[in-house]
Structure 1
Amino acid sequence: MALVNAVSGEPEQKGPSTNASRPAAEETSGGDPSPETATSPTAALPLVIRVTGPATQVVVRVADTGGKVLTKGILNQGETRNYKEAPLQVVAFNGGAVQVVIYGKVQPPEPDGQRAEWFVKPRAG
């Protein structure tokens, strides 16, 4: 959104000091439970999923006795999901279509077209 507004040419008329601070506030305060814009370093996040191939079914759930489901559905190419909780169980129906980053470490690629699973442990510390 900020980029669209910057291209439209209107920011100069409303005062540069307020417009310069507004986009940063909008990015960090978003109420979306699964923000697609990474504003913090991925190393701090337990899990980041990026769909780099064709759309695929993804299930992410909290790995405890309750098993709360955080994501269940098809993620499209180009989508990124960030998760701030751990432990997590992750399943992608096409493991080759996703890039999985756990605590900043890119996981080895999985075979294309095959179901893949990952487990995100709670961070020790």
Structure 2
Amino acid sequence: MINLKAVLALTFGCFLSLSAQAVEIRDHHKEVIGKDCKTCHDNGIKQFPSDQACLQCHDVDDLAEQTARSEEDKWQNPHDNLHYGKELPCQECHSEHDTKKPLCSNCHTFKYDKHKE
């Protein structure tokens, strides 16, 4: 007779190994992050990184300056906009392992040519 505990342990082990497999890292982060998930994922926990993790390397004011637009379109800046100012959580528009569109595109049609999905 098959031992139920052994079957459960093997099943759990299979699921655990699947969740620990490597995932794609964007080219623009490969050199910095390497393969250390703890660089972005707080304590290596498999969840969205906190904004503090992003802000270790990225400065909000620098990002706002880099994405600034001309005077008539100045509030279309994804890092300093009319709705959220500089307070929008990074994960609303950015994802390291999946493609993602800017939150603004849910309602607006303007484009962000430099957005890295």
Fold conserved between structures, TM > 0.5: no
Bigger CA radius of gyration: 2
Give TM-score scaled by structure 2 length: 0.24
Return the structure number with greater strand share.
1
Higher RCO (Cα < 8 Å, 6 or more apart):
1
TM-score by length of 1: 0.23
Q: Which has the higher helix share?
A: 2
